[in-house]
Amino acid sequence: MPATLQPSASETRENAAFEALLWALSRPGQVRDLPASGPDPIIEALLDRECRVYAADPLLVPRIMRTGAEIADIGVADHVFLGSAAAPEMLARVAVGSDLYPDEGATVVVAATICEGQPLRLTGPGVDGDIDIRVEGLADGFWKARATRSRYPMGFDLFIQDGARIIGIPRSTHVEVL
């Protein structure tokens, strides 16, 4: 064994992905870079046999199954990959946890274009005052559906992914559609 351990390539990727996710979630609206494009880095960093996962894109299913995670219905999944098919009626079924167990609220990953389109104003923990962002490609009524589902501390935590770029919107963030 060498004197100091060196991380393997997968460990380095997973760590970088987690750091991006952590930074994105603790500072909503700030863009971070994942080590690779698409949902793969998130799958690799977070999922294993203890997870129940829903993926709207069937092409994603084999990659998720490789982690050992169980493919589940959207209502009981703790990680939900909606891709660009994030319809409001799907958000209405996402698990939001309970007041007793807020950690059972799901982590939702959607694909959209960052820095274009619909202007949004975010306030809440992690935001110094307020921050304006633009997101394009989400279905009409997406933010209304999110607001309907959120009754803090219940709610789901959202990652908006644009290629390798990501922004996080935790349930504690208030989103105002401008």
Partner 1 sequence: MSLSDLTKPWEAMSYGFLDGSAKRELRRKVLKSVSVPGCQMPYASREVPMARGWGTGGLQVSLTLVRPDMRVKVIDQGADDSVNAASIRRFIARVAGTPTTMDTLEADLIQSRHRIPEEVLREDQILVLQVPNPEPLRPVQPNMSIARQMHADADYGRMWLQLYEQIVRSGRVMQGASYPSLVHGRHVMTPSPIPRWDVPKLHMSKHLTILSAGREKRIFAVPPYTRVEPLVFSDVPYRVEDHGDLICTRSGAKGFFMNEIPQDDGSSSFEVSDSEWGVKTIRARDGEGESRGATWYRDGQFTDTRPGLEPGPLPPHDQEVPGQARDV
The site for partner 1 (CB under 8 A) is made up of 1, 4-8, 10-12, 14-16, 18-19, 21-22, 25-27, 45-51, 62, 65-66, 68, 78, 98-100, 102-103, 105, 107, 124-128, 152-153, 157, 170-172
Q: Which is nearer to partner 1, 101 or 140 (CB)?
A: 101
Q: How far is CA 21 from CA 41, 57, 78, 91, 164, in A?
A: 10, 21, 16, 21, 11
CB of 68 to partner 1, least distance (A): 8
Dihedral angle sign, alpha carbons of residues 90, 130, 34, 26: negative
Closest by alpha carbon to 117, among 91, 143, 94? 143
Q: Which is nearer to partner 1, 38 or 124 (CB)?
A: 124
Instruction: Give the pair of three-digit tokens for residue 53.
Output: 């996962």
State the greatest distance between any 2 C-alpha atoms of the chain, in Å, as a whole number. 57
Cβ within 8 Å of residue 39, ≥6 positions away? 60, 81, 83, 109, 161
CB of 93 to partner 1, least distance (A): 19
Q: Which is nearer to partner 1, 38 or 153 (CB)?
A: 153
Q: Is there a contact between 118 and 134 (Cβ–Cβ < 8 Å)?
A: yes
CB of 67 to partner 1, least distance (A): 9
Q: Which is nearer to partner 1, 49 or 59 (CB)?
A: 49
Q: Helix, strand, or coil here: 15? A: helix
Q: Which is nearer to partner 1, 83 or 153 (CB)?
A: 153
CB of 107 to partner 1, least distance (A): 7
